Structure 1
Amino acid sequence: MAHFVTRMIQTTRDEENQQLMTVWPDIIHDVTKAIENFNIPDVAKWMEKVLQYNVPEGEKIRGLRLIYAYKLLAPNDQLTEENIRLARILAWCVELTQAYFFMIDHIEDRTFFRRGQLCWHEYNDLNLAAIDDTFMLYSSIFYLIQKHFKEKDCYVNLIETFQDITMKSAIGQSLDLLCTNFGKKPNLDMFTMNQYTSIVKYKTSYCSFILPIIAAMQLAGIKDQEMFKEAKTILLEIGCLFQVQDDYLGSYGDFEICGKNNNDVQEGKCTWFIVVALQRVTPEQRKILEECYGDSDLEKIEHVKQLFNDLNLLDTYFTYEEEIYNLIKVHIKQMSSGLPHSLFLTILWKLYHRMS
């Protein structure tokens, strides 16, 4: 069993964010230079705009998770300046992956704003032309991995991990669209807890939690399959908590704080709130949901939100959030493969009562 020395991570989140940003110009240069090599300068210039607009904004929490995990897991003699730079490049690959899925999601959901700025497909009225930009973004991920990691032992594992998790995330996106009936009136019979858990597992947990940690483990040279299995189990649980919190923010969050529009009701999303509501409603209340859920009419939206209040869903949510948080904490402390508990406890702690 591997033994990891507990070490203090000296850089703060803000400092690491700044250091991550110092690598960003190199990411842009690598991608645009690759396009210029095809003697297509106009596309290279456009791609720089796509990258700058869609990727570096926000907290970059997924990329920062990878760097934190790598610094914690890698042997001391591996923590060279060059290897930490490679971890930051890989962190940008994670951020590119997330940006790719966000761009697609915004097009499919007809979302207008994210984090206080217009979504890319709304920028300059790009509309469906933005789809090609998502493909360019996706391709750049694998170009960067090939350029910087091809000579590394972890190269094949990294390629397979990014491909596998991209496919799983696409499956989650498809499940989500099937539940919302592609923007038409949703079929509430599909809104079961099993269906919701599947959406969360594939759409959220793999890309946001499993990808950065598994990639960091591979870069650190970890081979023990039991460690990977245990990490994935815990990260799936953490991802579920994160998504339930996201559902709360999507219905009750403050836009000025979380940057999310409260559109889940009118979009007919399969959220934790509607699933729990359907478990509790009377036949008369279900008729209200069938009539009003997934409708953009303001009066109908208010009917749904009032029904959620009548069912006391907010109190149920806060109780559930606390219980799941504590249960995951117990599961982390029971981990026995040799991975440092502090890694997962830190990820969990940053989700505690989050508001953005």
Structure 2
Amino acid sequence: MLYVLKNYNLNYSIVSKVPLHFRSLCSLLQKKNNRPLVDISVEEGPLRSVYPAIREEIIEEHLVLKGNSELRDRCEKLLDYNTNVETPFLSASLIFLHTYKLLEKPSLLNHENLKKAYILAWCHKLIHSAININDDIIDRSNIRYNKTTWYQLPDVGKDAAIVDAAFLLNGAIFLLQNHLRCLPHQYIMQKHFLRAHAIMNLSNIPELKKIKINEGDKHQLDIKFYSYNVISTAMFLANVTDGYLHEVCEEICNDLSRFIRIEDDVVDLYDSEGNIRKTSCTDISLGRPSWLTMEAYKKGSAVQKKILEENFGKNNEESTEKIYSIFEDLQLLDVYKKLSDEFYEQEIYKIQKKLPKSKMQDALLDLLTLVVNHKCM
């Protein structure tokens, strides 16, 4: 099973688009385990309490906005629409806060340090949102955060949305420079934030190219949904600098990142009853790599492989239906469920083997349990 995940190195979006049926589908896939789910929503209130000041600071840093009320109003809408979103879509920021509080010495969880943590949590969301705007344009997506994608709004459009994504990234950079200057690990933390954006941005390259399904391996990039920086920045903020701990953390996070991308493909296609939604999966018609198509080609018979080769990348309903039929014949949803179960057990074993019982072990086990129970989006 580890081989399957390590060789699924396609493009990895930071946040699932999450269709409305997501929660119902997840009930079909829910994990049974002895570790209780940590309630990261308890961090939401304090996180949102600093948002008005964060928004104002970002706008003030963009000096061109001074005196231009129309442009200022537009940027306020941009920030509110793409960052101040519903609770499920703040999971990366909330996980960052949970991890920091778990690792930090209790005596240092004072007002000043917590404020820095909340600001850094918003930096994560800003960077993720910047990536998501561009990702939606490339994917031609209609829904993000259970509402119309930003570029699809009548008063936005693709060209303006590209500029808006840069605005959000710049906002995160301004916050990092304004609030990390006095921190002992400020340089490496800034680098981790910017590296996350760079890696996730580069991961969109496969989205721009139509592939042949029998040549999928040639078009796979070893680029991951970069979850490591969410945990690593929390570690540095809590002054956890041990190289071995960071090495193990990055390995586990990369495993989780690959799994989340597979999960994203499944959730995008199957409805709340576990049936294929016939209007979904643009990856098939656009000839883009996904776990479902690659798995079907790997497991299919010679006849099924030929059907996949003839119909993958064709933008018509008949071709898509033929591929969906193969997915159902191969019972790929059941394949995913088995993969998910094996992945969970594998990662539990790896974490407990490589790390002694500690707060760091607890942090990674909490993250793993959230991921396999579909609480990270």
Conserved? CA contact 1:251–1:263, under 8 Å:
no
Q: Tell me how far 1:348 sits from its aligned partner.
A: 1.1
Q: Please, which moves more after superposition, 233-242 or 60-69?
A: 233-242
Are the counterparts in 1 of residues 65 and 71 from structure 2 also a CA contact under 8 Å? Answer: no
Shift in Å, 1:295: 2.9
Matched, 1:300 2:344: no
Q: Which amino acid aligns with 2:213?
A: L
Match of 2:54 among 23, 27, 31: 27
The answer to whether the aligner puts 1:278 opposite 2:305 as a matched pair is no
Contact 1:111 1:119 in 2 (8 A): yes
What letter corresponds to residue 187 of structure 1 in structure 2?
K
Task: Report if aligned partners of 2:232, 2:246 keep a CA contact under 8 Å in 1.
Answer: yes
Which amino acid in the other structure matches residue 51 of structure 1?
A: L
Q: Are residue 52 (structure 1) and residue 80 (structure 2) matched? A: yes
CA deviation string 1:81-131 (max 9, x = no partner): 221121111011001111011100011111111232111111115222211
Paired position in structure 2 for 1:76:
106
Q: CA deviation at 1:272?
A: 1.4
Q: Which moved more, 1:273-282 or 1:301-310?
A: 273-282
Match of 1:349 in 2: 369
| Corresponding residue number in structure 1 for 2:335 | 316
Aligned to 1:3: none
Q: Distance in 2 between matches of 1:40 and 1:162?
A: 31
8 A Cα contact 1:35 1:44, kept in partner: no
Task: Identify unmatched segments of 5+ residues in structure 2.
Answer: 1-37, 274-278
**Is 1:328 aligned with 2:347?**
yes
Q: What fraction of aligned residue pairs are identical, expressed as a percent?
A: 24
Q: Of 120, 141, 144, which residue of structure 2 is paired with 1:114?
A: 144
Partners of 1:228 and 1:274 in 2: how far apart? 34
Cα distance in 2 for residues equivalent to 1:77 and 1:32: 34
TM-score normalized by structure 2? 0.81
- Pick the aligned partner of 2:191 from 150, 160, 172: 160
Distance 1:261 1:36, change over 3 A: farther
Give the RMSD, CA atoms, in angstroms.
Answer: 2.3
Shift in alpha-carbon separation, 1:40–1:335, aligned structure 2, 3 A? farther
Residues 325, 12 of structure 1: alpha-carbon distance in 2 compared, 3 angstrom cutoff? closer
Match of 2:121 in 1: 91
Aligned length: 329
Q: Is the contact between residue 31 and residue 144 of structure 1 (CA under 8 Å) also seen in structure 2?
A: yes
**1:104 counterpart letter in structure 2:** N
1:97 & 1:261 partners in 2: Cα distance?
27
| 344 and 173 in structure 1: CA distance in 2 versus 1, 3 angstrom threshold | same
* Alpha-carbon separation, structure 2, partners of 1:240 and 1:149: 30
Secondary structure of the equivalent of 1:350?
Answer: helix
Amino acid in the other structure paired with 1:98: H
Deviation at 1:203, TM superposition (A): 4.1
- Cα 1:119/1:38, change in 2 over 3 Å: closer
Structure 2 CA distance for partners of 1:272 and 1:311, relative to 1, 3 Å:
same
Contact (CA 8 Å) 1:173, 1:203: kept in 2 or not? no
Unaligned runs of 5+ in 1: 1-10
Specify the alignment match of 1:16 in structure 2: 43
Which protein has the bigger helix share?
1
Whole-Å Cα distance in 2 between the matches of residues 37 and 302 of structure 1? 51
Report the counterpart of residue 5 of structure 1 in structure 2: none
What's 1:6 paired with? Answer: none
Q: Is the 8 A contact 1:63 1:95 kept in 2?
A: yes
Separation (CA, whole Å) in 2 of partners of 1:62 and 1:158? 16
